[in-house]
Amino acid sequence: MKSSESKKHKILIANRGEIAIRIMQACRKLGLDFVALFTEPDRHSEHCVLARNLGGEDSLYRVSAYLDANEIFAVADHSGATAIHPGYGFFAEDYRFARRVAQREHKLIFIGPSWQVIRELGDKINTKRLARKLGVPTVPGSDRPVTDDLEAEDIARSLFAFQKEQGVNNPVILVKASAGGGGMGIEEVDDPDKFRSVLRRIKNYAKRQFRDEGVLIEQRIFDFNHLEVQVLADRTGQNPVHFGTRNCSVQSLGRQKRIEVAPGFDPSSLRYAFDAKKVLEDITEYSLRMAREAGYDNVGTWEWIVSPTGQPFLMEVNTRIQVENGVSARIASIKGRGDVDLIAEQIRVGLGAPLGYAQQDIRLGGVGIEYRIIAEDPDNRFAPWVGRITSFDWPEQPWLTVHTQVPRDREYEIPTDFDPNLALAIIWGKDLDEARARGQEFLDTLTLAGENAGGEPLKSNIAFLKRKTEKILVF
């Protein structure tokens, strides 16, 4: 690691849009060179403008696709890059890509967890087994594929009984094809007498589609809050720290996050039906326990669901930087210094530097809100809107940070190749009331206009964000 720390690095940014911009800014903060990518639909993105402004024409390469690994490696070799930052999405949680980065003839550094960690914790069954081994609560149900019908029925009966004990009037369980993914091979069961027929149907489907008839059986949890714990560790994997919790319960119909709030609950100003402070303490301790056991060695997020009775269940681990890292950084300070940049920290430790601080050096203060501003129609099942942004601006405020690839000084055609995410706005307040008031002020003073090819006005989620702001952190 020492040799890696001492050499001058150049980071290839294998992503686009606002995350590419934030990685460039982090590289500049650390005194590192970078090289960025773009595809034809992104030629007018601000990430291309910033790359040229900071690094000149030689810092920007056109590729045919962000998911073409061979092209990415060709750019890395041609540009003299020594490391690859995948951002989020694309290759960020692909352990095969991370392994190739580390093992190819011209070795590079993958700015993220090691490929072994990504493989281990990217597998939900492995994650569940590790959690249970360490006494970390997980969604009740099987932690391995079940093929025996009698065993499956026993698990189902126990889950129905467990929910009844929790006061759930209409218990539901999920039967999933263990080899499935992307929502394939999943069915709900709300009647124990129907379980056997559903099990048979899912097993037959799994065998036909995946050549594996194993199933997972889990409790279906309703009316939960979605919380996260932000974790960071250096390459030793021995000293992980956390940067608090986030609440990501304001989502679209497809469970896509729209507002994130740090911390995850606010018992100082809101009443909860459970000990919210203890829940936050428990999930951070559980997350660090697992990170230490797994030898976690970069940035990552432990995702939790919390039931209405205050029971936390680990859902999964995201082995990457997340969109909402900035709202956790906004409420944090390290050794008394604010303006924490978790992407810069990720890059620094990813290149081999020691963490340099412990949990007691991290302080959390105030409340942060992150809005995802998206061209979509929340009243039409959040359907994406396609067209041109003709005006996009906002008043600058000391409590506001906006990350965006959309220009403020010219029109911008939203690329149809990607989700129509326009910006992330991060607001800070000394308490929940102030953060909410500032959030509403930002949304009220934001200028956002556009039209599609038919001359119809832009549709966005601004009104949806305004409605949801009043109830932030209310369970």
At 441 the pLDDT is 98
Cβ atoms of residues 391 and 447 within 8 Å? yes
pTM, 2 dp: 0.93
Phi-psi region of 347 (alpha: psi -120 to 50; beta: other; left: phi over 0): alpha
Q: Which amino acid is at 148?
A: D
CA–CA gap between residue 232 and residue 202 (Å, rounded): 39
CATH number of 225-470: 3.30.470.20
Provide the token pair at 184: 């394939």
Cβ atoms of residues 195 and 160 within 8 Å? no
Q: How confident is the model at residue 2 (pLDDT cuts 50, 70, 90)?
A: very low
The single residue listed with the structure tokens 């319960």 is: 249
Say which range, 159-168, 309-318, 393-402, has the weakest mean pLDDT.
Answer: 159-168
Strands 383-384, 376-377: pairing kind: antiparallel
Q: How confident is the model at residue 4 (pLDDT cuts 50, 70, 90)?
A: low
| SS3 track for 343-356 | HHHHHHHHCCCCCC
Segments making up each domain of the chain, as ranges: 10-111, 140-219, 225-470
pLDDT digits (tens, 9 = 90+) for 392-432: 999 999 999 999 999 999 999 999 999 999 999 999 999 99
The 10 Å Cβ neighbour count of residue 163 is 20
CA–CA gap between residue 318 and residue 320 (Å, rounded): 6
Provide the token pair at 327: 């709202």
CATH classification for the domain delimited by 140-219, as one of 1.10.510.10, 3.30.1490.20, 2.60.40.420, 3.20.20.140: 3.30.1490.20
CA–CA gap between residue 55 and residue 299 (Å, rounded): 26
Strands in 78-199 per DSSP E: 83-85, 109-110, 173-177, 186-189
Of 342, 330, 89, 94, residue with least CA distance to 231? 342
At 230 the pLDDT is 98
SS3 259: strand
At 181 the pLDDT is 64
Strands in 14-142 per DSSP E: 33-38, 60-62, 83-85, 109-110
CA–CA gap between residue 341 and residue 29 (Å, rounded): 9
Cβ atoms of residues 142 and 217 within 8 Å? yes
At 182 the pLDDT is 58
Name the residues annotated as catalytic.
320
Cβ atoms of residues 336 and 425 within 8 Å? no
CA–CA gap between residue 351 and residue 366 (Å, rounded): 31
Distances (CA, A) of 85 to 12, 81, 89, 229, 270: 6, 11, 11, 22, 39
Domain topology for 10-111: Rossmann fold (3.40.50)
The whole-chain average pLDDT of the chain stands at: 95
Q: How confident is the model at residue 162 (pLDDT cuts 50, 70, 90)?
A: confident
At 108 the pLDDT is 98
pLDDT digits (tens, 9 = 90+) for 337-353: 999 999 999 999 999 99
pLDDT digits (tens, 9 = 90+) for 244-300: 999 999 999 878 999 999 999 999 999 999 999 999 999 999 999 999 999 999 999
Answer yes or no: is pLDDT of 380 > 60: yes
Segment (H or E) for 342: helix 342-350
Distances (CA, A) of 169 to 98, 161, 162, 165, 190: 46, 11, 11, 10, 11
CA–CA gap between residue 391 and residue 408 (Å, rounded): 7
Over residues 39-47, mean pLDDT: 97
At 250 the pLDDT is 97
Answer yes or no: is pLDDT of 3 > 80: no
Say which range, 112-126, 284-298, 432-446, has the weakest mean pLDDT.
Answer: 112-126
Radius of gyration of the chain (CA): 23
SS3 396: coil
At 221 the pLDDT is 86
What do you get for the CA distance between the two ends of the chain, in Å? Answer: 45
